Amino acid sequence: MRAGHGRRHQGAGRLKASGGTIRTGAEVDQVLIRNGKAKGVVLAGGEEIYGKLVISNADVKRTFLKLVEEKELPDIFLRRVRNFKIRGSSGKVNIALDSLPEFPALPKDSPAYRADMHFTDSIERMERAYDDRKAGRWSADPFLDMMIPTTLDPTMAPPGKHFMSCFVQYAPPKIDGRDWTDADRDGFAESVIAQVAQYSPGFRDRIVHMEVRTPREIEAEVGLTEGNIFQGELTFDQLLFNRPVPGYAQYRSPVGGLYMCGSSTHPGGGVMGAPGRNAAAEILRDLAKPTLHMSPAHDVI
């Protein structure tokens, strides 16, 4: 797939074509609620926008602990939202390279250069990486899910240059209970570079630029609370009828007209669109509108 995740913009195009409006740079500060019903939103700049329905793609904690006032929500719901676990565990390192790295372990023209590569060659290494995370540190010997997208789509970099994308585990939302510092971020990046360099001689010399995203950056840039990639951990207590919280697993909320459609809801995170699709179906049902034009459903429990 050449366009990468940019394909989502096709969705944006379709939304506009069917009469929708998209505004970027429009951070929502608060959901307007009157008599227990959502009436619209207030933007960070103070602008009020009214609407019949408010559907939040932000994660469940952000939506109900930041955008909605406590008094609008039942205690038991609030307690469950507070208990929702959304602790980040991963980071991302994007590396610009002036030439294709070499991996002596691979035959020269191996198709593996175009594949997903992992260096952790034992479960024990991965387990030890997690021990660091439990102790509140990034993994000294992380496990990487690495690929070089330019081997598939050379247009992503200037001719002859390359781009390496490293998904990195584990990176906790906090370091020893305090916020990440720039020095921590650099240490985290070094753990990644060091591991790749171990398998690719001369790797460091090829690096032109690096973009390092710890949970701190992920939260700040895309608003994923604590940098959790799935808008909430995917453990049994937060799956199916428990996602995001018991009693509200069907995209509705205690506030009339306020719905959830992000990955905090069933079935969870990843670029798949299922929560949004299911939410739309539930909303149409509440509006007593047909859903026949929609793609087949993902199971809702």
Ligand X SMILES: Cc1cc2nc3c(=O)[nH]c(=O)nc-3n(C[C@H](O)[C@H](O)[C@H](O)COP(=O)(O)OP(=O)(O)OC[C@H]3O[C@@H](n4cnc5c(N)ncnc54)[C@H](O)[C@@H]3O)c2cc1C
Token output for 1? 């797939």
163 part of the interface to ligand X, by CB under 6 A: no
User: Between residues 263 and 278, which has the closer beta carbon with respect to ligand X?
Assistant: 263
Residue given tokens 């008599």 in the structure block? 35
29 part of the interface to another protein, by CB under 8 A: no
Binding partner selected for residue 134 from another protein, ligand X, none, CB under the kind-specific 5 to 8 Å limit: another protein
Task: Using the rule CB under 6 A, give the single segment among 154-162, 175-183, 191-199, 222-230 that binds ligand X.
Answer: 222-230
In this structure, the dihedral spanned by the alpha carbons of residues 187, 193, 194 and 198, taken in order and rounded to 10 degrees, is 170
User: Between residues 249 and 284, which has the closer beta carbon with respect to another protein?
Assistant: 249
Token output for 276? 């949004």
177 part of the interface to another protein, by CB under 8 A: no
- Give the other-Cβ count within 10 Å of 7's Cβ: 11
Binding partner selected for residue 127 from ligand X, another protein, none, CB under the kind-specific 5 to 8 Å limit: another protein
Long-range contacts of 242-246 (CB under 8 A, 24+ apart): 243/267, 243/268, 244/60, 244/81, 244/84, 245/60, 245/77, 245/80, 245/81, 245/83, 245/84, 246/80
34 part of the interface to another protein, by CB under 8 A: no
231 part of the interface to ligand X, by CB under 6 A: yes
Binding partner selected for residue 83 from ligand X, another protein, none, CB under the kind-specific 5 to 8 Å limit: another protein
Q: How far is the CB of 286 from ligand X (least distance, A)?
A: 21
Spatial separation of the C-alpha atoms in residues 104 and 200, rounded to whole Å: 7
Q: If binding means CB under 6 A, how many residues of this protein chain bind ligand X?
A: 20
144 part of the interface to ligand X, by CB under 6 A: no
85 part of the interface to another protein, by CB under 8 A: yes
224 part of the interface to ligand X, by CB under 6 A: yes
Binding partner selected for residue 271 from ligand X, another protein, none, CB under the kind-specific 5 to 8 Å limit: ligand X
In this structure, the dihedral spanned by the alpha carbons of residues 81, 70, 255 and 61, taken in order and rounded to 10 degrees, is -30
The size of the chain, in residues, is 301
- Report the residue from 3, 7, 27, 83 that binds another protein according to the rule CB under 8 A: 83
Contact residues: ligand X, CB under 6 A: 27-28, 57-58, 62, 90, 92, 167, 218, 222-224, 229-231, 262-263, 269-271
Contact residues: another protein, CB under 8 A: 76, 80, 83, 85, 124, 127-128, 131, 134-135, 235-237, 241-242, 246-247
